[in-house]
Structure 1
């Protein structure tokens, strides 16, 4: 891909192995369904959705020089991803994610992103040592960052001059990794995309609704946030204004990737100059269409 990217997607690019069943499931359930293996990871999901919304994404990640990594590289290239700046490791295996979803939502998931964590700051070299930027001439474009990076590396990004000029958007990857985003509260840099549970974990409390959660995050130091709450109202706040939107009612057929779709749609809408209310509404509609199965990543 020779064109300048519209957005850099930094974080996990791996194989998603997802089992889905139309049955209601509980611990120990053994039911029929479908198992798929597709390119995934938060950064990859955001990149694929961003491409669908008209943006040109580039990936910054770690992929192993193993057979699974070679296959993943080929799959990413076939999807039109810009891979010019990825880090390929000779001694780290390609990461994987496994999830099980039933008619009652996500049952369980395990994210094996150990190679991404081990690669650490090596994946950021194009932004800290060129060719995309460095501390003296920081990158000025859009960046979507996921919380699969270590807290130490996220702390570096939150305070590094190399990221000071970027339009930085951050997602925690999962509730279990939400607390890794605390450096962005401390340094007041970036826009955070979280759900209600993640907002509560970041603020070490619980919230009744997205609007209260968004205001709570701003009070804790966040520069700007969006908080979603499944099929209930979502909120976006920058410390001055609070915008609230309600997603369309749909039949939920899947959940993995919904937050990534929301984030990509919101970034794309703002890139087109959409007002804040319109951008939030468009993102909620895109996420609803995704969970209903109407669209793919």
Structure 2
């Protein structure tokens, strides 16, 4: 049976509901606290495992109790942890996630052991019988993890395995110059509309279509866009399609983009049309924002299909 290989951060999220942010030096009393498994690639892996895909996760954890907890939770979700190393010098990453009244999250993190993932930590056997390789953009921020990510890209390209890259919000300025040379190796890139211009190396405010065409001309085959006007788009050389966001009671946006990426990956592997991929990704995102935290509360494929049916969207 084929598998999806993922590379990226594994961390523990400490999620605090903070009704109002204090000034620097002040204090805020949270109204709720949740501690759970998280990390961009981790969240996507869990959503895909819950969509009946076999997943292998490449990463690194501290040799500490939080690392033990993360491994236990990943195994409970059926994810292959054989490619996750342990680090004696750096701790398991902890994210402090402050969630405001609107459900929007703000993160503070020390990336710890994740950054210490090196190319020598895994072999190309991780790609045996793999049908897709997914990379979180956080993995390209710092060396040696960025070296490991590029090493894995080379392995996947050599085997003809399609590669998806998820660009997290807020870090495109740090990633753009390094990502552009990688675009010919990528099947799909997932990002927000506000990140298109800097990634394409274009002035801010240019037309969305123009920015996407630049990325396609640079070699990526598909561009999945989360747009502010309540739409998501999927572009390829043959054209584009869009779908409207689905209504959701927003509780916490943590992991919503990771769930969105999982929807596109499932749609890509299932041979769905561009519009079907957009709608499925939107359903995953809508489900994710309606629950607290990410990790082991990520949506399932059955929940996503049920939401689409209830919205009179598509028949699956």
Partner of 2:139: 149
Contact kept in structure 2, 1:214 and 1:225, CA below 8 Å: yes
Partner of 2:61: 63
Q: 1:203 to 1:17 in 2, by over 3 A?
A: same
Separation in 1 of the partners of 2:37 and 2:74? 7
Query: Post-superposition shift, 1:55?
Result: 1.4
Aligned to 1:77: 75
The whole-number CA distance in structure 1 between the counterparts of 2:34 and 2:207 is 34
Q: 1:256 to 1:208 in 2, by over 3 A?
A: farther
Match of 1:163 in 2: 157
Aligned length: 284
Give the 3 Å change call, closer, same or farther, for CA 51–184 of structure 1 in structure 2.
same
Pick aligned residue for 2:127 from 101, 125, 132: 132
Q: 1:26 Cα deviation (Å)?
A: 6.5
Post-superposition Cα deviations, 1:216-262, rounded to whole Å, max 9, x if no partner, equal: 43245433211102561111112331122211132321111001001
SS of equivalent residue, structure 2 residue 138 = coil
Structure 2 residue runs without a partner (length 5+): 299-316
Deviates more, 1:70-79 or 1:40-49: 70-79
Residue 20 (structure 1) shift: 2.2
> Which of 13, 33, 58 does residue 16 from structure 1 map onto?
13
1:170-209, aligned counterparts within 5 Å?
170-177=165-172, 179-180=174-175, 182-187=177-182, 188-190=184-186, 191-204=188-201, 205-207=203-205
Unmatched 5+ stretches in structure 1? 134-138
Alignment deviations for residues 50-83 of structure 1 (CA, whole Å, 9 cap, x no partner): 1222212111101122222122212222222211
Cα distance between partner residues in 1 of 2:179 and 2:161: 14
1:287 and 1:162, CA in 2 relative to 1: closer, same or farther beyond 3 A?
closer
Name which of structure 1's ranges 110-119 and 209-218 shifts more when overlaid on structure 2: 209-218
**Aligned-residue CA RMSD in angstroms?**
2.7
TM-score (norm 2): 0.79
Q: Secondary structure at the match of 1:62?
A: strand
Q: Is the 8 A contact 1:211 1:236 kept in 2?
A: no
